[in-house]
Amino acid sequence: MSGPRRSTPRRNLIADPGNPALYTNRAMARLKLSQWDNAIADCHECLRLAPDSMKAHYSLSQAHLALRAYDDALAHALKAHGLCVAAADKSLATITAHVLRCKMDRWNDMERRRVRETSDLEAEMLAMLGRARDEAVREAAAAAADQDEGTRREIGAEWDAKIGRLRAVFEDARPQKEKLRVVPDWAIDDISFCFMADPVITKTGKSYERASIIEHLRRQPTDPLTREPLYPSELRPNLDLKQACDEFLAENGWAADW
């Protein structure tokens, strides 16, 4: 004899299709099952009912990230982060970390494509020069009556030098990215020692990652530097520093995992 049937998210949605929380609950369950498209559909339905649902934007970002839709993942991660800040939600650190992951994965994807395209361009140009060299040598051989062996060798050597210079140009360009793999001190949060995604500034002029300083103030409402009383309402966004961090991260996405 079978027991009573358990209620499922789908049955709840049918019973109360106007409740946005049921869609986010089912979306989160589907994320755990790697049902990305279904999770996205649930998130969109939730956002139709509640456009400012932080959970829906966060879940939608997770699904898009899994599908490698990096631009969409980052857009919804940033939206979730903004809603989280406005609500002073305790999940700020988690969402901030997710924003950084979206930026890093997006940069890694662009970097892979850049490397692949550069490699393809290098191979194509080397092949073109190789064909031109072979043609020049053949023409020199055809005119053997008018040219001695030394002249033909000189022609081949000239083309080999061109090919070598082209290889050197591509080779010299490769290490440039590696030279930037140092994160500047001004971009590092002194509490978590992570790259700052949303820096805020205290009364004393010191900047911290928003999630880190708010978590610190929850435990102890004092300035980490001066030990004077400090409250979340006294923090202000450091827009200039945020712009600098965003610009650095746009060129060096690996720094998100610093």
Q: Where are the domains of the chain?
A: 9-89, 109-179, 185-257
Ramachandran category for residue 228: left, alpha or beta (phi over 0 → left; psi -120 to 50 → alpha): beta
Specify the DSSP element, H or E, that contains 208.
Answer: strand 207-209
pLDDT tens per residue across span 82-115:
999 999 899 999 999 999 999 999 988 988 888 7
- Domain 9-89 in CATH 1.25.40.10? The answer is yes
- pLDDT score of 45 more than 60: yes
**Rounded distance between C-alpha atoms, residue 225 and residue 202, angstroms:** 10
Coil, strand or helix at 88: coil
* Separation in Å, CA 119 to CA 78, 196, 235: 33, 33, 47
- pLDDT score of 5 more than 70: no
Higher pLDDT, 204 or 59: 59
Please state which CATH number belongs to domain 185-257: 3.30.40.10
Six-digit token pair at 180?
């930037």
Predicted TM-score (pTM) of this structure: 0.67
Coil, strand or helix at 43: helix
**13: pLDDT confidence band, cut at 50, 70 and 90?**
very low
